Amino acid sequence: MKTQPIVYLICGFIGAGKTTFAKKLEKKTRAVRITKDEWSIRLIGNDPTIDGYAEWDTKIIGLSRDVAFQLAEKGIDVIIDEGFWEKETRDEMRRRTGTIGAKAVMYYLDTPIETIRERVVGRNDNFTKDSFKISREMLDNYLKNWQAPTEDEDYVLASEVK
């Protein structure tokens, strides 16, 4: 039996391809994938402009992380597909992973903003029940909160994974 579980952290902005990558990683590693956006959509819907959305989203993030770390504490590898937009959050997740004796591996999807905009607009044009309604204006506002990982952070570029 493996002695140190792995907590895979999937980092990237909206439309970067995080969930697509996380699903491939899930098949490759057999880790349990936890995608908080899937939880959010099933519980509160796919319109992030509704009243109270931010509060619900915060609660779902906390719950999904707690479940992920409960699994990791039991020796089960997990994939946390969340985005991790802020350096402080990424640092906190690495600390929390170390606290339970697991190994953190962060994959970063360094997707150009032009590609992200095309994908988000494309999602809105071909809307499915599994995606959020995000306008270009919302995307640009969210972009103000995005902090790409820096060279001093330990990460693997997802584009380099075979």
pLDDT(124) > 80: no
Q: Cβ(26)–Cβ(71) under 8 Å?
A: no
With pLDDT > 70 as the criterion, what percentage of the chain qualifies? 95
Q: Cβ(78)–Cβ(72) under 8 Å?
A: yes
- For the stretch 21-50, pLDDT in tens is 999 999 999 999 999 999 988 888 877 888
pLDDT(162) > 90: no
E strand residue ranges, the chain: 6-11, 32-35, 78-83, 103-108, 156-157
What is the pTM assigned to this prediction? 0.92
